[in-house]
Structure 1
Amino acid sequence: MGNFVRIPAGPDQSFDAWIEEPPADRFPGPRPALVVLPEIYNVNEWARGVARRYADAGFVALVPDLFWRLEPGQYLPYTPEAQQKGRDLYARLDVAASTRDIGSALAWLRARADSNGKVGVVGFCLGGQLAFLSGVDATPDAVVSYYGTDLHKFLDRVPQLRAPALLHFGETDTRVPASIAGEIERHKLPEQDLVTVVHPAAPHGFSRTGYEPFHAEADARAFEQTLSLFARTL
């Protein structure tokens, strides 16, 4: 079972993050790590479960509090009221500062005694956007984005994506249109290690295991593809 740790973020600043560690008997060190970036609901039970899922696959998994600079500890349930709260926090979010916080999380994970020096980023919805941006402005060894919100605002940054990347989209997603995948493909450079995947019949949030609108087939396929990228890069 995981727990919260404090991640340094500059002079006299730090933030909470949930950490899950792989079973030591199955995955002796040194080990790769992941920064898991959650939806607007932040470090809720589902996000902690995602970290456990990756820990069971052999990664040290860290889920940072995305809104600590605004209102720390806002870990939200799946209710209409909480959704509005998350959207309000997102509207006030300093994306550049969040990307710097991801950099702090990457550095903290690399400095662990059990680290193999490789750290990836995987994010969902808002976290998917931040995962993409971390591949431009931070130093992850690989990036995976699930239905990242508002990526159309950052198409000019696609050629600047330095880390190997995998971007998942849902064919029936009304929040993040699947057409964004085609736009990203048109903006990427021939030499970039960047793949977009549109999952048939999958809605927004298709990997929200245990909650609507979970789509088991798309989730299983995306998870397999994600692990394949991380196996190659981490």
Structure 2
Amino acid sequence: MSVTSQWIEISSPEGTFGAYLAIPHTRKGPGIVLIQEIFGVNEHIRSVAEQYAADGYLVLAPDLFWRHGHRIELGYDEAGWKRAVELMNATDRYKAQADIKLAIDTLKTHTGLDGRIASIGYCFGGMLSYNTAANGFVDVAIAYYGGGIQNQLDRASEIKVPLLMHFGEQDSHIPIDAVKQIAERFEFNDDVDIEVYPGAEHGFNCSHRDSYNQRAAAEAHGNTLIFLSQNL
């Protein structure tokens, strides 16, 4: 039996929202809440969910833009970028965290959950994954090129779970000085790992973007799987 996937609905005090569920072929596994970029739960994020399901994880990717439209899915062209930034700026991050918590609670009740739960987020989602860790919602957290983490280092002491952060050395959105600032803040926390990928730009993991870097994406995926296997 291969990986299966489907959209499910999650109830919240404000209404229901969609989440993309990917189930491993074993039908059971540790959980991952997968946190989107600013482009919605689009084809790329769904493919990432399916990849982690193929790796043996039960994956749920909540639609965090649901208050602005049904299953908004954007591309990486100029129009997509413009709309994505508008949606990011219009999103209440406290409400997004509440949605993530509901997705985690949904995973906890799924019959296929066999183990603990991690969060993995990309860009906007990377910052949210960092905050999910600080809020104590998950057992492990991973952030790919999390924009703005350097501005939330006052929450560093609240992070009590293993945290892995991936950054591109050539990221035009996250200066290397910001990465150094983050690294200095977590220097004495043995549960926090930071990986910097030479020559990699922002969004290096996304094969749908011009900034895709195959080597960095492969190394980051491998590092993520090792980190999950060691800590989840």
* 2:91 paired residue number: 93
178-187 or 200-209, which moves further after superposition? 178-187
CA distance in 2, matches of 1:203, 1:191: 26
Q: How many pairs align?
A: 229
Query: Is the CA contact 2:147–2:173 (under 8 Å) kept in the aligned structure 1?
Result: yes
Q: Which amino acid aligns with 1:154?
A: Q
Instruction: Please tell me whether residue 209 in structure 1 is matched to residue 207 in structure 2.
Output: yes
CA distance in 2, matches of 1:155, 1:61: 28
- 3-state DSSP of counterpart to 1:69: helix
- 3-state DSSP of counterpart to 1:184: helix
67-76 or 53-62, which moves further after superposition? 67-76
The percentage of counterpart residues that share the same residue type is 29
CA distance in 1, matches of 2:185, 2:225: 25
Displacement of 1:148: 0.7
Q: CA RMSD in A?
A: 1.6
* 2:121 paired residue number: 123
CA distance in 1, matches of 2:8, 2:139: 22
1:156-209 CA-to-partner distances (Å, cap 9, x unmatched) read 112211221000000000111232222112223734511111111111111002
Q: Which runs of 5+ in 1 are unaligned?
A: none
* 1:23 paired residue number: 25
User: TM-score, structure 2 length as denominator?
Assistant: 0.93
* 1:13 paired residue number: 15
* 2:224 paired residue number: 226
CA distance in 2, matches of 1:188, 1:9: 35
Query: Is the CA contact 1:162–1:192 (under 8 Å) kept in the aligned structure 2?
Result: no
1:89-131 CA-to-partner distances (Å, cap 9, x unmatched) read 1111111111111111111101111212411110111111111
CA distance in 2, matches of 1:138, 1:104: 14
The alpha-carbon distance between structure 1 residues 152 and 16, as it changes in their structure 2 partners (threshold 3 A), is same
* 2:49 paired residue number: 51
CA distance in 2, matches of 1:114, 1:93: 31
Q: Which amino acid aligns with 2:19?
A: A
CA distance in 2, matches of 1:9, 1:194: 32
Query: Is the CA contact 1:36–1:121 (under 8 Å) kept in the aligned structure 2?
Result: yes
Instruction: Please tell me whether residue 2 in structure 1 is matched to residue 5 in structure 2.
Output: yes
- 3-state DSSP of counterpart to 1:176: coil
- 3-state DSSP of counterpart to 2:205: coil
Displacement of 1:72: 3.3
Runs of 4+ aligned structure 1 residues displaced above 3 Å come to none
Query: Is the CA contact 1:2–1:21 (under 8 Å) kept in the aligned structure 2?
Result: yes
Displacement of 1:230: 0.8
Q: What pairs up with 1:26-41 in 2 under 5 angstroms?
A: 29=28, 31-41=29-39
Displacement of 1:14: 2.3
Query: Is the CA contact 1:110–1:117 (under 8 Å) kept in the aligned structure 2?
Result: no
Displacement of 1:210: 4.2
CA distance in 1, matches of 2:48, 2:139: 19
Displacement of 1:149: 1.1
